[in-house]
Structure 1
Amino acid sequence: MVMNKIATKLLFLFLLSSFTILLSGCNNSDLSDETVDPAEVFDTIEVIQERGKVIAGVRFDTRLFGLKDSKSGKVEGLDIDMARTLAKKILGDETKVELKEVTSSTQIPLLKDGQIDVIIAAMSVTEDRKKEVDFSDVYFYAGQSLLVPKGSPIRGLDSLSSDTTVIAVEGSTSVKSIKDKAPESNVVEYNDYQEAFAALKSEQGDVLTADNSILLGMMREDANFEMVGGLFTNESYSIAIHKGDQKMVDTVNEMLKELKESGEYTKLYEKWIE
């Protein structure tokens, strides 16, 4: 029933968009100032309340933020706790949340298709992404760095050359950054961070690049690796929301403000990051 409602909403958005274009073609000069963005019609909170749960797009491959235990099947991390807090904010019950796995390349399509309500997945805010989704206030700051085996001659960006194989995750902001900053290096992209780290450990590449917060989780998993080269980008993590859904943006921002003012965010940060 809920999926039918979501499908109906998405169909309505499509028809409304087509109707607007048709009218513009008939009398563009009269209607140019009255064009309505159909995305503003989407009401995530209404969908969540009718469904009775929040469907959050989260990572299953990123230690500290969202990592699935292969034995228990449990997903844990800062972003997972944030998703539960959002469910409590909207529905009054933190257990009313479904965690749906996303990757850097699937997260926005899944949101736009209505398969998830929000993206809480260590997602960096970029100008390109702002064209497709709306973002909440920032809840975490990070920066891109390099991960190498201890004893590696690679000590930073200056060490990267045409003989260097750099491992990165497909669809992540790290791919574009490393190609811009070390264009001579060979970049090999993997589907997720678990695959990327496994490739580094099996010597399929010389260095792995990602945000320092993600690399920190890898170092905690295996002490044979270290970060080098400092930070060469500034990344801001925010929660991504359907484009035009200001009510949801405001609700998420209220949640973040309450977390910070109550001291609960500090506790979550200390629990997962420090």
Structure 2
Amino acid sequence: MQRIRQRGRLIAGIDTNSFNWGYRNPQTGALTGFDIDLVHAIAKALLGDPNAVDFLAVPTAKRVEALQDGTVDIVVRTMTINCERAKQVSFSAPYFTAGQQVVAPVADQGITGFDSSLKGKRVCAASGSTAWQNFVAENTLGATPVPVANQLDCLVQMQLGNVDATVTDNALGAGQVAQDPSVHLVGGPLDTEYYGVAVKLGSDDLVRRVNAVLEQYAATQWQAEYGKWLKQSMGGRDAVPPAPRYRD
């Protein structure tokens, strides 16, 4: 906290390629999305100015490294909290609930989910993502895993016909579908996951401050942000922020 305040700027690792989460508005060039607005809220709470933030695009597989080497102060990038990552970075309380799901071309009606219908198919996922680590790279379905740097690269590969399906967070998959109606989500969610704000391991003071921001954000702003960025692409479903759980 002292280092950030002395600098007068928050350095945030974000995504610039995930529609509705973190991306550049094609008309204005401004970074926009659910995660971007959350970063602005954190900057305002820490420094009194929502624009006192420097954004740095960080690939999926480089999120942990960017925190460990001090390139960024925080990562707000649809980053799933899990036990393995919690050994490498510290997480805030969760701010969104998601689950892994398959995205496939509408024209390929043979793909029904993460099941035997993927046998012989080329399946894409972002390197370092939960989808890659827990499903695609470890699958026993007879599919060929295809890693990419960022989840949106999978959409491009599907459009080019280089892969047959993608496994990604359903919240991100919904953004792919919103961008390209020739693909759709198939099957159900494969798990339940929670996104958290990640900081360098041991930065307990920053974690506590971010948790305080998230409590206020959940009570006053979360619903409006969900309605603005995500509700339509998530099929119009209502949602609520996940309840925080803190360690002693």
Aligned to 1:178: 135
Give the counterpart of 1:199 among 157, 163, 166.
Answer: 157
Q: Which amino acid aligns with 1:206?
A: D
The one of 88, 106, 115 equivalent to 1:150 is 106
User: How many pairs does the alignment contain?
Assistant: 229
CA contact under 8 A between 2:107 and 2:182: conserved in structure 1? no
1:251 alignment partner in structure 2:
209
1:192/1:266 Cα in 2 relative to 1: closer, same or farther (>3 Å)?
Answer: same
TM-score, normalised with respect to structure 1:
0.80
CA RMSD of aligned residues (A): 1.4
Give the C-alpha shift of residue 212 in structure 1: 0.2
What are the residue-to-residue correspondences of 1:80-91 with 2, within 5 Å? 80-91=36-47
Q: Which is greater in Rg?
A: 1
Name the structure 2 match of 1:11: none
Select the residue among 187, 196, 210 that pairs with 1:238: 196
SS in 2 for 1:87: helix
Whether contact under 8 Å (2:115, 2:141) holds in the other structure is no
| Code of the aligned partner of 1:187 | P
Counterparts of 2:97 and 2:39 in 1: how far apart (Å)?
Answer: 18
- Matched residue type, 1:158: D
Does residue 1:138 correspond to 2:94, yes or no?
A: yes
**Other structure's SS at 2:94 match:** coil
Alpha-carbon distance between aligned partners in 2 of 1:259 and 1:71, rounded to the nearest angstrom? 28
1:31-180 counterparts in 2 under 5 A? 45-69=1-25, 72-152=28-108, 153-179=110-136, 180=138
Task: Give % identity.
Answer: 28
Structure that is richer in helix per residue: 1
Alpha-carbon offset, residue 68 of structure 1 = 2.4
Q: CA deviation at 1:54?
A: 0.6
Gaps of 5+ in 2: 232-248
Tell me by how many angstroms 1:71 deviates: 5.9
Q: Which has the higher strand share?
A: 2
Structure 1 residue identity aligned to 2:215: K
Structure 1 unaligned blocks of 5 or more: 1-44
Cα distance between partner residues in 2 of 1:228 and 1:197: 15
What is the rounded CA distance, in whole Å, between the counterparts of 2:35 and 2:210 in structure 1?
13
